[in-house]
């Protein structure tokens, strides 16, 4: 049985493979980047990255 990829792996893979998503992520404040990295959410698309970032900013 293979272990599930870590949630951060989804984000890391996205940032490596999608230049636009990486640029958007880098434009976010550091505390939002930290929140996304530590959220445990599976972020595997640019749309999901934007949703999670917007949600994190609304909660701050």
pLDDT-based confidence at residue 6 (cuts at 50, 70, 90): very low
The per-residue pLDDT for 3 is 38
What pTM was computed for the model? 0.81
pLDDT tens profile 7-56: 546 999 999 999 999 999 999 999 999 999 999 899 999 999 999 999 99
CB neighbour burial string for 27-58, b if at least 16 within 10 angstroms, e if fewer = ebeeebbebbeeeebbbbeeebbeebbeebee
Percent of the chain with pLDDT over 70: 85
Helix, strand, coil in percent for the chain, rounding step 5: 70, 0, 30
Mean pLDDT, the chain, integer: 88
Q: What are the two backbone dihedrals, phi and then psi, of residue 50, each rounded to the nearest 5 degrees?
A: -65, -45
Residues 6+ apart with CB under 8 A from 23: none
């Amino acid at each position: 049985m293979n272990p599930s990829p870590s949630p951060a792996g989804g984000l890391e893979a996205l940032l490596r493979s999608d230049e636009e998503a990486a640029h958007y992520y880098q434009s976010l404040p550091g505390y939002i980047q930290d929140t996304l990295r530590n959220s445990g959410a599976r972020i595997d698309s640019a749309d999901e990255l934007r949703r999670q970032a917007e949600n994190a900013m609304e909660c701050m």
